[in-house]
């Protein structure tokens, strides 16, 4: 997929094209930003641009080199991904040996580390030396959600590009182009994605809707009797293999983001939770819920949602984490 096919990341692509044109390519890039916004596709497009057999502003996407890179079977192109939870030391050693070989056919040999935050400490250390003294004609692209989980020694040796969340128009366009989802589903998934394309959510439509409807019923009334119901539901959701707890966190994040949006008087057509069916009025429900909170409380809850997610990532009990979050929201509702 050449640069021309990547949507919503003009800023990143401009920086990369600029570096290619001026032949000022750093030997290591670090692409950061949330999942599913085009970081990996951009890395592939860069490898194609550097090696395409046709000369042009962008890779052609059709020559043998471009196609082999896309299929990940080009001899001078390698993608490293976590095996299990981590990118292992052996994977790194093998890839570094490979990187030191002279390119077979390519102008530039390209190594991508997709999920660089999953480099173990030993694996990261093994990498450092190569980042300091790279072999000529090699480019390393590290892809990570943020720099937070990466050693500073790695970050400082790479040129970082921050990828931006996609606008709702672009995520919806991509979903419409790449799937045959109904319009209702396109809008729902776009709102859950919070600036990313999560097309795989389509299979979970009914679960997402149940979670959303249950939460909205509660968020627009805050009755104590429904609180008990909700806490019981949280207990079940935290244990379910359908991962309702994840949908709840995703949804609450979009909801409280929209509450700040409304509070600042920003345009309603940019809300993530919009009216995607004829018989619901999401904006009215958002405004109804917004009456319960000050702006400060909304920010506080937003922070708490992120905190709950981080705690679960560190193996906290899922039921307890979402119960405690709902209680926090309830106590703040006045």
- Per-residue x/- track, 284-313, Zn ion (CB under 5 A): ------------------------------
What size, in residues, is the chain? 334
Q: Which of 7, 52, 234, 326 binds Zn ion (CB under 5 A)?
A: 52
Which tokens hold the place of 277? 């069916």
Nearest approach, Cβ of residue 141 and Zn ion (Å): 18
CB-wise, 64 or 281, nearer to Zn ion?
64
Handedness of CA 189, 193, 198, 204 (dihedral sign): negative
Q: How far is the CB of 110 from Zn ion (least distance, A)?
A: 14
* Binding-site member from 17, 20, 60, 131 for Zn ion (CB under 5 A): 60
Task: Report the nearest approach of Zn ion to the CB of residue 50 (Å).
Answer: 10
Of 56 and 265, which has the nearer Cβ to Zn ion?
A: 56
Smaller CB separation from Zn ion, 13 or 230: 13
Q: Closest approach of Cβ 64 to Zn ion, in Å?
A: 8
The nearer residue to Zn ion, 108 or 274, going by C-beta atoms, is 108
> Minimum distance from CB of 54 to Zn ion (Å)?
5
Looking at beta carbons only, is 11 or 62 nearer to Zn ion?
62
Q: Which residue lies nearer to Zn ion by CB, 69 or 249?
A: 69
Q: Give the phi and the psi of residue 139 in degrees, each rounded to 5.
A: -130, 135
Q: Which uninterrupted H or E stretch holds 80?
A: strand 77-80
Helix, strand, coil distribution of the chain in percent, nearest 5:
55, 10, 35
For 43, the token pair is: 């890395």
Nearest CB to Zn ion, comparing residues 109 and 274: 109
Shortest reach from residue 249's CB to Zn ion, in Å: 41
What is the C-alpha separation between 50 and 56, in angstroms, rounded? 11
Per-residue tokens: 200:
């795989």
- Provide CB contacts within 8 A for 64, sequence distance 6+: 53
CB of 76 to Zn ion, least distance (A): 14
Select the residue interacting with Zn ion from 66, 154, 271, 298 (CB under 5 A): 66
Q: Should residue 155 be labelled a site residue for Zn ion when binding is judged by CB under 5 A?
A: no
48 or 95: CB nearest Zn ion = 48
Residue 3: exposure state from Cβ atoms within 10 A (0-12, 13-18, ≥19): buried
Q: Which stretch binds Zn ion (CB under 5 A): 55-63, 130-138, 175-183, 248-256?
A: 55-63
d(CA 221, CA 87): 47
Q: 168 near 197, Cβ under 8 Å?
A: no
106 near Zn ion (CB under 5 A): no
| Nearest C-alpha neighbor of 159 from the set 142, 178, 184 | 142
> Which residue's CB is nearer to Zn ion, number 53 or number 213?
53
Q: Which residue has the tokens 């600042």?
A: 264
- Rule CB under 5 A: say whether 63 interacts with Zn ion: yes
Q: With CB under 5 A as the contact rule, which of the stretches 44-52, 175-183, 304-312, 320-328 interacts with Zn ion?
A: 44-52
Residue 37 CB partners (closer than 8 Å, separation 6+): 8, 9, 163, 164, 165, 166, 195, 196, 197
Task: Please report which helix (H) or strand (E) contains residue 39, including its range.
Answer: helix 39-51
Residues near Zn ion (CB under 5 A) are 52, 59-60, 63, 66
């Amino acid at each position: 997929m050449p640069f021309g096919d990547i949507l919503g990341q003009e800023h990143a692509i401009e920086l990369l094209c600029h570096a290619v044109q001026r032949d000022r390519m750093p030997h290591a890039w670090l692409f950061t930003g949330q999942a599913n916004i085009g970081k990996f596709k951009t890395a592939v497009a860069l490898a194609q641009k550097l090696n395409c057999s046709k000369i042009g502003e962008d890779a052609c996407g059709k020559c043998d080199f471009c196609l082999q890179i896309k299929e990940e079977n080009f001899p001078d192109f390698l993608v490293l991904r976590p095996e299990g939870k981590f990118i292992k030391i052996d994977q790194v050693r093998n890839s570094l040996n490979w990187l030191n070989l002279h390119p077979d056919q390519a102008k530039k040999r390209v190594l991508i580390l997709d999920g660089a935050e999953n480099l173990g400490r030993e694996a990261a250390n093994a990498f450092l030396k190569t980042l300091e003294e790279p072999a000529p004609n090699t480019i390393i692209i590290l892809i990570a959600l943020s720099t937070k989980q990466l050693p500073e020694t790695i970050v400082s040796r790479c040129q970082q590009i921050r990828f931006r969340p996609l606008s709702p128009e672009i995520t919806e366009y991509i979903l419409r182009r790449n799937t045959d989802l109904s319009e209702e589903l396109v809008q729902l998934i776009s709102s859950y994605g919070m600036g990313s394309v999560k097309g795989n959510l389509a299979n979970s439509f009914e679960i997402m809707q149940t979670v959303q409807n249950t939460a909205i019923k509660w968020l627009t009334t805050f009755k104590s009797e429904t609180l008990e119901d909700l806490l019981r539901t949280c207990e079940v959701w935290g244990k379910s293999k359908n991962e309702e707890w994840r949908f709840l966190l995703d949804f609450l994040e979009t909801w409280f983001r929209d509450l700040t949006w409304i509070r600042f008087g920003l345009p309603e057509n940019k809300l993530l939770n919009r009216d995607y069916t004829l018989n619901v009025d999401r904006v009215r429900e958002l405004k109804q819920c917004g009456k319960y909170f000050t702006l400060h409380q909304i920010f506080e809850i937003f922070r708490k949602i992120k905190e709950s997610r981080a705690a679960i990532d560190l193996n906290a009990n899922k039921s307890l984490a979402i119960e405690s979050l709902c209680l926090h929201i309830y106590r703040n509702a006045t």
